[in-house]
A and B are shown apart, each in its own frame.
Chain A
Amino acid sequence: MSASKDWREAIIDREIEAFCKRYEGQQKTVEEWQILRDQLERDMNRRYGSLLFA
C-alpha cells in the first residue's frame, strides 16, 4: 500500500469517526444511513476537491 493510500484511508477513518460521533446514540434504518452516507461522501468531495473520494 502506497503512502498516499494510507493517507486517504486515514482521512476516511477520520471522517467516519466524526460522522459516528455526530450521530452517537441514534438508531436509523439502513436506508436512512445510506442516504446520510451519500451526503457525507458528496460533502467530502466538495471539501477535498474531488481529489480522493467518490
Chain B
Amino acid sequence: MANYKHCRVRGNFYFEISGYDPHTLELLADFNTMRSAEQRQAWEQGVSGDRRLTHAEQVLAIAITSHLNLRTQRCFPDQERLAARLGKSERQISRLIKKLEAMGWLGVTRHNYRGGMGHRGQLANDYRPLVPEDLKDAIGLHLADTECRTSANRMVDILSSNGGHLGGHMADIYMSDQPGISQPVSSQLVGQTDSDMEDGRPSGGERNGPAALKQRSDPARPSYLPGERICSAREFFTLPGRRIRFYDAGVNVDAEIERFCCHPMNPRARTVDQRDQAQLAWIANIGGTA
C-alpha cells in the first residue's frame, strides 16, 4: 500500500495512467466486450497495472481470459483446471475470483443446478472481462485533459509562428470604413496606424517581419500538424453547419421593408411598380454596401 502513487486525475490512485500509451487508454476507456486480440492485450495491460491486485490475482485474471472465445464470447474454465495451472487450491481460486469481481475486472455468471434425487451441484462459471467504471472515467478525464493541452500548445505554436496573430487575418476583419469600427488588432499590437499598413496588413515590426508576412500570405503553407485539414474559404463554407445563420430576434423584417418602402421620404417607393428598387435601396441602406 505504501507504494501507491497518487495521480492528478480524480479516482486514479491505483492506476498509473501516464505509464500507458494513448491507444491502449482509448481501448480501455471504450472497453465493452473483448472482441479482438488488441482489446485482449489492452485489457491484460490494464489488469497488470492495477496496484490493488496481487500478483496471483493478476495472473489468474489473465489465465481466465485466455480461455475466452473472441467470437462466441464464451469463457468457462473450471476452477479445478485453473487451480492446477496456478498451483493453488480451488478455494483459493474461488476467493481470488471474488476479489477480481469486486474490483470490477471480471464479471461472473454462476450456474447452479438442481438435479433429480435432491442432487445439487454447480456448473462452471461464465466469465467476461470488464474494466472498472471508475477507471474508465479517470482515463476519459485524462484523455480529455491531454487533448486540451495539445490544442492549447498548438494554438501557442500558431500564435508564435505568426507574430501573435492567428494567421494575421483576424485583424483584417476589423478593417472597415464604417464608423465606430475599431482599429485593427495588429496595429494595436505593434503601435502602427492605418497609414503604415500595406494591403490591410502590418508592414513591419518585430513580430510582423517579412518572414511572418510571407508565411501568412503564402497560399501553399504546410499544415501545422500531420493530418490537419487545410482548405480554402470556399471549401470551408461548403462544410456542413458553417454557413452564417439567421437571427430571429422577433423583428418583423417584412414590416421593416414595408415601412421603408412606403416611407413618404423615399421617392422610389411611391408606386407599387417601384417596390423592387425600393427594396434594393433598403438592403443597400442597412448593409452599407449595395
Contact = CB atoms under 8 A, between A and B. Distances in A.
B245 A34 contact: no
Given A7-B257, A39-B170, A39-B173, A27 B232 contact: yes
Instruction: Describe A's contact surface by its main secondary structure.
Output: helix
B253 A29 contact: no
Contacts of A34: 236, 242
Contacts of A19: 233, 237
Contact of A51 (B221, B224, B256): B256
A47 B287 contact: yes
Given A16-B237, A25-B219, A53-B245, A32 B167 contact: yes
Interface residues of B, number: 45
Interface string A1-42: 011110110111011100110111111111011111101110
A4 to B, nearest CB: 4
B288 interface: yes
A37 B215 CA distance: 21
B217 to A, nearest CB: 8
A47 B254 contact: no
B253 A51 contact: yes
Contacts of B229: 29-30
A53 B253 contact: no
Interface in B225-239: 228-234, 236-237, 239
Contacts of A28: 167, 230-231, 233, 236
Given A7-B257, A40-B173, A49 B286 contact: yes
A43 B289 CA distance: 13
A50 B249 contact: yes
Given A33-B236, A48-B286, A53-B247, A23 B228 contact: no
Contacts of A4: 253-254, 256-257
Interface of A: 2-5, 7-8, 10-12, 14-16, 19-20, 22-30, 32-37, 39-41, 43-54
Q: What 3 pairs across the A-B complex have the smallest Cβ distances? A: A54-B247, A4-B253, A33-B236
